[in-house]
Amino acid sequence: MEGVAIAAAVLGGLGLLFGGVLALADRFLKVEEDPRIEQVERLLPGSNCGACGQPGCRGLAERIVAGEQPPSKCTVSSPSGLDAIADFLGVDVGAAEKQVARIHCGGGLGRARMLASYEGESSCRGAHLVGGGGLECSWGCLGLADCVRACTFDAMRMNGSRLPVVDVAKCTACGDCVVACPRALIDIVPLAHPLIVQCRAPLAAEAARHLCSAACDACGRCAADAAPGLVRMVSN
Protein backbone atom coordinates (compact mmCIF):
# COMPACT_ATOMS: atom_id res chain seq x y z
CA MET A 1 0.00 0.00 0.00
CA GLU A 2 2.88 2.31 0.85
CA GLY A 3 4.41 1.64 -2.58
CA VAL A 4 1.18 2.66 -4.31
CA ALA A 5 1.10 5.91 -2.36
CA ILE A 6 4.70 6.69 -3.27
CA ALA A 7 4.04 5.96 -6.95
CA ALA A 8 0.96 8.18 -6.92
CA ALA A 9 2.91 10.97 -5.24
CA VAL A 10 5.72 10.70 -7.80
CA LEU A 11 3.30 10.75 -10.73
CA GLY A 12 1.44 13.69 -9.23
CA GLY A 13 4.69 15.57 -8.73
CA LEU A 14 5.78 14.90 -12.30
CA GLY A 15 2.38 16.06 -13.52
CA LEU A 16 2.72 19.32 -11.62
CA LEU A 17 6.28 19.79 -12.86
CA PHE A 18 5.44 19.19 -16.52
CA GLY A 19 2.31 21.32 -16.23
CA GLY A 20 4.39 24.16 -14.84
CA VAL A 21 6.94 23.82 -17.65
CA LEU A 22 4.17 23.93 -20.26
CA ALA A 23 2.58 26.97 -18.61
CA LEU A 24 5.92 28.81 -18.63
CA ALA A 25 6.56 27.80 -22.25
CA ASP A 26 3.15 29.09 -23.26
CA ARG A 27 3.82 32.38 -21.53
CA PHE A 28 7.36 33.06 -22.70
CA LEU A 29 7.54 31.22 -26.04
CA LYS A 30 4.12 32.13 -27.40
CA VAL A 31 4.25 33.69 -30.87
CA GLU A 32 1.78 36.52 -31.21
CA GLU A 33 -0.05 36.53 -34.55
CA ASP A 34 -0.71 39.78 -36.32
CA PRO A 35 -4.45 40.42 -35.74
CA ARG A 36 -4.69 41.98 -39.20
CA ILE A 37 -4.30 38.55 -40.78
CA GLU A 38 -7.69 37.43 -39.55
CA GLN A 39 -9.33 40.63 -40.77
CA VAL A 40 -7.76 40.34 -44.22
CA GLU A 41 -8.85 36.71 -44.40
CA ARG A 42 -12.42 37.85 -43.72
CA LEU A 43 -12.17 40.37 -46.55
CA LEU A 44 -10.98 37.71 -48.99
CA PRO A 45 -13.71 35.66 -50.74
CA GLY A 46 -12.98 32.45 -48.84
CA SER A 47 -13.06 30.25 -51.93
CA ASN A 48 -9.66 28.68 -51.14
CA CYS A 49 -9.24 28.02 -54.87
CA GLY A 50 -5.45 28.30 -54.93
CA ALA A 51 -5.33 30.62 -57.96
CA CYS A 52 -3.03 32.94 -56.01
CA GLY A 53 -0.48 30.16 -55.58
CA GLN A 54 -1.25 29.67 -51.89
CA PRO A 55 -3.05 26.66 -50.38
CA GLY A 56 -5.93 28.85 -49.23
CA CYS A 57 -7.11 32.33 -48.38
CA ARG A 58 -5.41 32.15 -44.98
CA GLY A 59 -2.01 31.71 -46.59
CA LEU A 60 -2.58 34.64 -48.93
CA ALA A 61 -3.79 36.83 -46.05
CA GLU A 62 -0.56 36.14 -44.19
CA ARG A 63 1.53 37.13 -47.19
CA ILE A 64 -0.49 40.25 -47.94
CA VAL A 65 -0.10 41.44 -44.34
CA ALA A 66 3.62 40.64 -44.48
CA GLY A 67 3.93 42.74 -47.63
CA GLU A 68 5.03 39.76 -49.71
CA GLN A 69 2.00 39.87 -52.03
CA PRO A 70 -0.34 42.69 -53.13
CA PRO A 71 -4.11 42.38 -52.59
CA SER A 72 -4.52 42.03 -56.36
CA LYS A 73 -2.92 38.60 -56.14
CA CYS A 74 -6.43 37.32 -55.37
CA THR A 75 -8.11 36.82 -58.74
CA VAL A 76 -11.51 35.99 -57.24
CA SER A 77 -12.12 39.16 -55.22
CA SER A 78 -14.15 41.96 -56.77
CA PRO A 79 -12.46 45.35 -57.31
CA SER A 80 -14.33 46.69 -54.29
CA GLY A 81 -13.11 43.75 -52.20
CA LEU A 82 -9.50 44.40 -53.20
CA ASP A 83 -9.93 48.10 -52.45
CA ALA A 84 -11.25 47.22 -48.99
CA ILE A 85 -8.14 45.17 -48.23
CA ALA A 86 -5.83 47.88 -49.56
CA ASP A 87 -7.61 50.57 -47.54
CA PHE A 88 -7.49 48.48 -44.37
CA LEU A 89 -3.74 47.90 -44.68
CA GLY A 90 -2.91 51.28 -46.18
CA VAL A 91 -1.22 49.75 -49.23
CA ASP A 92 -1.69 49.85 -52.99
CA VAL A 93 -3.99 47.26 -54.55
CA GLY A 94 -1.24 46.37 -56.99
CA ALA A 95 -1.41 45.71 -60.69
CA ALA A 96 -2.50 42.26 -61.79
CA GLU A 97 -2.74 40.76 -65.26
CA LYS A 98 -5.92 38.71 -65.55
CA GLN A 99 -5.28 35.05 -66.22
CA VAL A 100 -7.82 32.69 -67.78
CA ALA A 101 -8.10 29.07 -68.86
CA ARG A 102 -7.68 28.34 -72.57
CA ILE A 103 -8.56 25.13 -74.41
CA HIS A 104 -6.06 23.71 -76.90
CA CYS A 105 -8.53 21.82 -79.06
CA GLY A 106 -10.76 22.98 -81.89
CA GLY A 107 -12.04 19.58 -82.97
CA GLY A 108 -15.24 18.23 -81.50
CA LEU A 109 -18.28 16.74 -83.22
CA GLY A 110 -18.14 16.86 -86.99
CA ARG A 111 -14.40 17.51 -87.09
CA ALA A 112 -12.66 14.81 -85.08
CA ARG A 113 -13.08 11.28 -86.46
CA MET A 114 -14.73 8.62 -84.33
CA LEU A 115 -13.72 4.97 -84.28
CA ALA A 116 -16.65 3.70 -82.26
CA SER A 117 -19.62 4.71 -80.15
CA TYR A 118 -18.53 5.07 -76.53
CA GLU A 119 -21.01 3.79 -73.93
CA GLY A 120 -18.80 3.62 -70.85
CA GLU A 121 -18.37 5.93 -67.87
CA SER A 122 -19.44 9.47 -68.73
CA SER A 123 -16.16 11.13 -67.83
CA CYS A 124 -13.12 12.18 -69.81
CA ARG A 125 -10.80 10.40 -67.40
CA GLY A 126 -12.75 7.17 -67.73
CA ALA A 127 -12.87 7.38 -71.53
CA HIS A 128 -9.17 8.20 -71.71
CA LEU A 129 -8.35 5.00 -69.85
CA VAL A 130 -10.17 2.83 -72.40
CA GLY A 131 -8.71 4.01 -75.67
CA GLY A 132 -10.16 7.48 -75.85
CA GLY A 133 -13.87 6.73 -75.70
CA GLY A 134 -14.15 6.02 -79.41
CA LEU A 135 -12.28 9.16 -80.51
CA GLU A 136 -9.64 8.31 -83.11
CA CYS A 137 -7.63 11.43 -82.31
CA SER A 138 -5.54 10.44 -79.28
CA TRP A 139 -4.74 14.02 -78.24
CA GLY A 140 -8.09 15.79 -78.69
CA CYS A 141 -10.85 16.80 -76.30
CA LEU A 142 -13.03 13.87 -75.25
CA GLY A 143 -16.05 16.13 -74.74
CA LEU A 144 -17.38 14.55 -71.55
CA ALA A 145 -17.11 17.72 -69.47
CA ASP A 146 -14.78 16.78 -66.62
CA CYS A 147 -13.40 20.33 -66.75
CA VAL A 148 -16.88 21.87 -66.58
CA ARG A 149 -17.79 19.81 -63.53
CA ALA A 150 -14.50 20.72 -61.87
CA CYS A 151 -15.14 24.47 -62.23
CA THR A 152 -16.69 25.83 -59.04
CA PHE A 153 -17.18 29.30 -60.50
CA ASP A 154 -19.60 28.34 -63.31
CA ALA A 155 -17.05 29.69 -65.79
CA MET A 156 -17.18 26.80 -68.27
CA ARG A 157 -19.85 25.21 -70.43
CA MET A 158 -19.99 22.70 -73.28
CA ASN A 159 -20.95 23.99 -76.72
CA GLY A 160 -22.83 22.19 -79.49
CA SER A 161 -19.62 20.56 -80.71
CA ARG A 162 -18.99 19.08 -77.26
CA LEU A 163 -16.06 21.38 -76.64
CA PRO A 164 -15.62 23.40 -73.44
CA VAL A 165 -16.02 27.17 -73.66
CA VAL A 166 -14.55 29.48 -71.02
CA ASP A 167 -16.44 32.51 -69.72
CA VAL A 168 -13.47 34.85 -69.23
CA ALA A 169 -15.52 37.19 -67.03
CA LYS A 170 -16.10 34.40 -64.48
CA CYS A 171 -12.82 32.51 -64.82
CA THR A 172 -10.51 32.99 -61.82
CA ALA A 173 -7.59 30.96 -63.20
CA CYS A 174 -7.81 28.60 -60.22
CA GLY A 175 -6.50 25.71 -62.33
CA ASP A 176 -9.06 23.09 -61.28
CA CYS A 177 -9.96 22.49 -64.93
CA VAL A 178 -6.27 22.03 -65.79
CA VAL A 179 -6.02 19.22 -63.25
CA ALA A 180 -9.31 17.65 -64.39
CA CYS A 181 -8.29 17.26 -68.06
CA PRO A 182 -6.62 13.85 -68.60
CA ARG A 183 -5.14 15.01 -71.91
CA ALA A 184 -3.50 18.21 -70.66
CA LEU A 185 -5.45 20.37 -73.10
CA ILE A 186 -6.01 23.34 -70.78
CA ASP A 187 -3.52 26.03 -69.83
CA ILE A 188 -3.75 29.15 -67.70
CA VAL A 189 -2.56 32.12 -69.76
CA PRO A 190 -2.88 35.92 -69.67
CA LEU A 191 -6.22 37.13 -71.03
CA ALA A 192 -4.33 39.56 -73.24
CA HIS A 193 -2.39 36.74 -74.90
CA PRO A 194 -3.03 37.33 -78.62
CA LEU A 195 -2.51 33.79 -79.92
CA ILE A 196 -4.06 30.48 -78.93
CA VAL A 197 -3.19 27.28 -80.79
CA GLN A 198 -6.24 25.04 -80.58
CA CYS A 199 -4.49 21.78 -81.32
CA ARG A 200 -1.72 19.71 -79.79
CA ALA A 201 -1.30 17.19 -82.58
CA PRO A 202 2.03 15.34 -82.39
CA LEU A 203 1.68 14.40 -86.06
CA ALA A 204 2.27 16.48 -89.17
CA ALA A 205 0.56 17.16 -92.49
CA GLU A 206 -1.99 14.62 -93.73
CA ALA A 207 -1.46 12.27 -90.79
CA ALA A 208 -2.99 14.88 -88.48
CA ARG A 209 -5.66 16.10 -90.90
CA HIS A 210 -6.79 12.54 -91.51
CA LEU A 211 -7.87 12.29 -87.87
CA CYS A 212 -9.36 15.76 -87.45
CA SER A 213 -10.21 18.46 -89.97
CA ALA A 214 -9.26 21.11 -87.41
CA ALA A 215 -5.86 19.59 -86.61
CA CYS A 216 -2.67 21.59 -86.84
CA ASP A 217 -0.66 20.06 -89.68
CA ALA A 218 2.61 21.74 -88.68
CA CYS A 219 2.85 23.69 -91.92
CA GLY A 220 4.72 26.46 -90.12
CA ARG A 221 2.85 29.34 -91.74
CA CYS A 222 1.99 30.92 -88.38
CA ALA A 223 5.64 31.04 -87.36
CA ALA A 224 6.74 32.28 -90.77
CA ASP A 225 4.15 35.07 -90.98
CA ALA A 226 4.46 36.29 -87.37
CA ALA A 227 6.89 38.87 -86.08
CA PRO A 228 10.34 37.44 -85.29
CA GLY A 229 10.29 35.49 -82.04
CA LEU A 230 6.51 35.70 -81.55
CA VAL A 231 5.71 32.16 -82.73
CA ARG A 232 8.00 29.17 -83.00
CA MET A 233 7.44 25.54 -83.91
CA VAL A 234 8.19 22.94 -81.22
CA SER A 235 7.61 19.23 -81.94
CA ASN A 236 5.03 19.94 -84.67
Asked if residue 229 belongs to a domain, the reply is: yes
pLDDT of residue 29: 61
Asked if residue 19 belongs to a domain, the reply is: no
Helix (H, G, I), strand (E, B), or coil: what is residue 230? coil
pLDDT of residue 184: 94
| Inter-residue contact 49 to 76 (CB < 8 Å) | yes
Asked if residue 7 belongs to a domain, the reply is: no
Which among 99, 83, 122, 113 is positioned nearest to 209, based on CA atoms?
Answer: 113
Q: How far is CA 56 from CA 63, 224, 230, in A?
A: 11, 44, 35
Looking at the structure, tell me whether residues 136 and 211 fall in a common domain: yes
pLDDT of residue 26: 63
pLDDT of residue 25: 64
pLDDT of residue 101: 95
190: which residues sit within 8 A by CB, 6+ positions away? 97, 98, 99, 100
DSSP one-letter code for 133: T
The range of the structural domain enclosing residue 102 comes to 98-236
Pick out the chain residues at pLDDT < 50.
none
Of the three residues 59, 89, 119, the one that is the final residue of a domain is 89
CATH number (domain holding residue 57)? 1.10.15.40
Looking at the structure, tell me whether residues 148 and 204 fall in a common domain: yes
CA distance 233 to 220: 7
pLDDT of residue 180: 97
pLDDT of residue 103: 96
pLDDT of residue 146: 97
| Inter-residue contact 166 to 187 (CB < 8 Å) | no
Looking at the structure, tell me whether residues 111 and 201 fall in a common domain: yes
pTM here? 0.74
Supply angle C-alpha 107, 149, 188, rounded to 5.
Answer: 65
The pair phi, psi for residue 48, each rounded to 5°, is 50, 40
Supply angle C-alpha 210, 214, 215, rounded to 5.
Answer: 60
**DSSP3 helix / strand / coil % (the chain, rounded to 5):** 35, 10, 55
Counted domains in the chain: 2
Looking at the structure, tell me whether residues 65 and 132 fall in a common domain: no
User: Count of alpha carbons within 13 Å of 101, Cβ hemisphere only?
Assistant: 31
